[in-house]
Amino acid sequence: MDSVSHDIREPSTTRHASDDAGRTRALATEAVHAGRDDLARQGLHAAPIDLSTTYPSYDSRGEAARIDAFADDGAEPQGPPVYGRLGNPTVARFETALARLEGTESAVAFASGMAALSAVLLVRNALGLRHVVAVRPLYGCSDHLLTAGLLGSEVTWVDPAGIADALRPDTGLVMVESPANPTLAELDLRAVAYACGSVPLLADNTFATPVLQRPAEQGARLVLHSATKYLGGHGDVMAGVVACDEELAGRLRQVRFATGGVLHPLAGYLLLRGLSTLPVRVRAASSNAAELARRLTVDPRVARVHYPRIGGAMIAFEVRGDPHAVIAGVRLITPAVSLGSVDSLIQHPASISHRVVDAADRRDAGVGDRLLRLSVGLEDVDDLWADLDGALGRPFARS
């Protein structure tokens, strides 16, 4: 096994907000209160859901001024809302909360994680910086988006040690994922950020969440989340978000406005609610995952287990027999794509999440045909193990 950690650690104790008395607040407190600090003063307890697509205004000159200001730098319009594609108050609460948890100035939410990544690429492309340096593995669709050049970008794939040498005058972005999907390979983000020099580093933090690491503290200028996963946490919302400085956030808002990849207000509400339990969910699921990783490591039916030093709720393991038989054999664990839900999910990356990646590239990145990816949920760990044990023990000839 690559690494097993039973110590589910929080990131550094740096705190990014304070209460009215000037005291700094811990991550668990921020998860509950960020984006909601004004509610009690309004006589509210739960955050309201604003479903409006448009907003009445008798001051058309004022609206014009707000739209002009937005066109200049993408700053959130001051004053009453104008139109749902410019911004939504419920979504803004989630953005505020996520930025506080990641320790960045701002965050910009999108309709999906891929919409968020696309917006980042479009922002850099608009500056003539179309070249991307990236480290495999990445999520399969992220890999495909870069490799296929669907947005006009050009990618150079490198090992972490080759980042500095791969940079060019037109390099607009360095992209990494740590722990990586699906192998859970980890990078030294601080060293990677140093190698990037002045080129912005985008770190996909979907697997770790800000509970386990904050890439911005280690030098990443952009932090990407498929918010569909742990931030939502219940398998019922699709979203993406980029946490970053306000300068980049403004450009991302402009792209979101122009392309229409906006997050629905109800999704924003569900994500804000999901954040309130994020630390509790991640720690509990991580404890389950560490125990399952330990049991899988000593199981003769398993050739190799990947579990990151940082901990977390994701496990990847390579079986000696037929991985499709394991997928067919589970009964409690759900055989499905995605991850980060309260219930456990298992999938075969080479068949699904990374199918769009060239087979040779997939294997070179460690995504073999016998690799399975397990997203561990909040069920009793003995029940989960009983299900895995039964699935691993079924005849390998089963399809």
Please give the positions annotated as active site. Answer: 85, 139, 204, 229
Q: Which amino acid is at 383?
A: D
- Interatomic CA distance for residues 362 and 352, integer angstroms: 12
Task: Output the six-digit token pair for 240.
Answer: 């993406």
Task: Output the six-digit token pair for 46.
Answer: 């739960």
- 196 Cβ neighbours under 8 A, 6+ residues apart: 163, 164, 167, 174, 219
- Interatomic CA distance for residues 327 and 335, integer angstroms: 6
Within the chain, what is the greatest distance between any pair of CA atoms? 72
CB of 101 closer than 8 Å to CB of 124? no
Residue 201, phi then psi, degrees to nearest 5: -95, 125
- 156 Cβ neighbours under 8 A, 6+ residues apart: 131, 132, 133, 134, 166
Nearest to 241 by CA among 100, 30, 147: 100
Q: Write down the number of H helices and E strands in the chain.
A: 14, 12
Task: Output the six-digit token pair for 89.
Answer: 């108050």
Residue 107, phi then psi, degrees to nearest 5: -150, 150
